[in-house]
Amino acid sequence: MTDTTEIVIVGGGVAGCSVAYYLSLAGVKCTIIEQQGIGSQASGFSAGGLNPLEGTGVPGPLSDVAMESYLLHKGLFPVLMESTGVDYQWRINSVVKVAFDDEELPELRETFDSFTATSGFEADMLDSDQLLDLEPRISPDVIGGVVTRGNASLDSYKYTLALVQAAEMNGASVRSGTVRGLESSNGRVTGVLLEGSVLHCDQLVMAIGPWSRIAEPWMGGYIPVDPLKGEILRVELPGDSLSHDISGGGGSVWPKPDGLVWCGGTEDWRGYDQSATESARQRIVSGAVRLIPDMARARLVLHTACLRPVTPDWLPIIGRVPGLHNAYLATGAGKKGILLSPAIGKAVADQITQGETQLSVKDFEPARFAPPLIE
């Protein structure tokens, strides 16, 4: 009996699961192939912040799709919560950014201007006394800050699980396995080579994040995605809880609904090393203590490390692979992977089922890195 499926999605991270979810809404049967488990890599360890107004590429080339994806997120939570029962703790946040010296104040003003200029978002500039009234545990050394409202956050692991569970309820399936290559003919992928078997398919989506270069010889093209290592600490902070996500002075802290505080994060080019390191722990603690002096008394609960998929221009790769008429990439979202995941999933699903998408992803096509090899 021939083993077949309409669409194979290689990779069970948030990008692959989002593609599966949106394909399932269109009534398309797909199979996710995942080697280690759904959300077992960066998708399961992200701090889960959703900020469509700041960060790499924003303001800039990611601005439109970041906001489109943020709005998709807002609509997704009640739908996924109702259909799957998975509470992935979507919530609107108040975020505080602080300055320790005059040189840091212009960045706060940029944040203020960005938030006050955008419908649905708000911001206030605060002096040091107002900051300490708002969050008494902030360092008394801060000279000013900005508090923003409108950002959101979620539990990235539970969110990824909700996507895949909803997709499965609509007919998708998940298969454990390791992909060893592709079968193709006349510019079309016809099957995925697994250990000891072939899964035949009509379409293929490659969503393997920082491991995307593995697929270059299979797909006959250039997929410049490299791993950017990030480490985060989860700690118990004695005393009164924090009410805001807080950043500044080289530190970031994110209080979570379960009472833990996450602290981070680092950015290191260390290849595929995923070990939690003492040097990173020290850097994170130093930044957190400068920001919240009481962090010196925090108890470490968990130290995580993961790899983010980053392209040379720090923009995602979304769309059909040059030279292959039925193969797509959904990768390279870097530090914005959780935020961009609904747009990535819907855009690829739209392209597969309708031939095009209305989402603002045209500038992120794989062809920008290499000309088509086969047409």
- Residues 156-174 pLDDT 10s: 999 999 999 999 999 999 9
- pTM of the predicted model over 0.85: yes
Domain at 92-150, CATH homologous superfamily: D-Amino Acid Oxidase, subunit A, domain 2 (3.30.9.10)
Q: Which pLDDT score is estimated for 370? A: 72
Q: Which two tokens stand for residue 252?
A: 């970031």
Q: Which pLDDT score is estimated for 248? A: 96
Specify the fold of 4-80+156-224+312-369: FAD/NAD(P)-binding domain (3.50.50)
Phi, psi of 253 (to 5 degrees): -135, 140
Q: What is the DSSP string of 51-100?
A: -SSSBTTBTTTTHHHHHHHHHHHHHHHHHHHHHH------EEEEEEEEES
Do 92-150 and 226-310 share a fold?
yes
Q: Which pLDDT score is estimated for 371? A: 53
- Give the CATH number of domain 226-310; options: 3.20.20.70, 2.40.50.140, 3.40.50.12780, 3.30.9.10: 3.30.9.10
Residue stretches of the chain with pLDDT short of 70? 1-2, 371-375
Give the H/E segment covering residue 164: helix 156-169
Can you tell me the distance from the alpha carbon of 285 to that of 233, in angstroms, rounded to the nearest whole number? 8
| pLDDT digits 0-9 by tens, 345-365 | 999 999 999 999 999 999 999
Q: Are strands 261-264 and 226-236 parallel, antiparallel or unpaired?
A: antiparallel
Q: Which pLDDT score is estimated for 310? A: 98
Region of 258 (left: φ > 0; alpha: ψ -120 to 50; beta: rest) is: alpha
Q: Which two tokens stand for residue 173?
A: 């399936």
Q: What is the dihedral of CA 83, 88, 92, 97, to 10 degrees?
A: -160
Q: Which pLDDT score is estimated for 265? A: 81
Residue ranges of the domains in the chain? 4-80+156-224+312-369, 92-150, 226-310
Can you tell me the distance from the alpha carbon of 28 to that of 201, in angstroms, rounded to the nearest whole number? 12
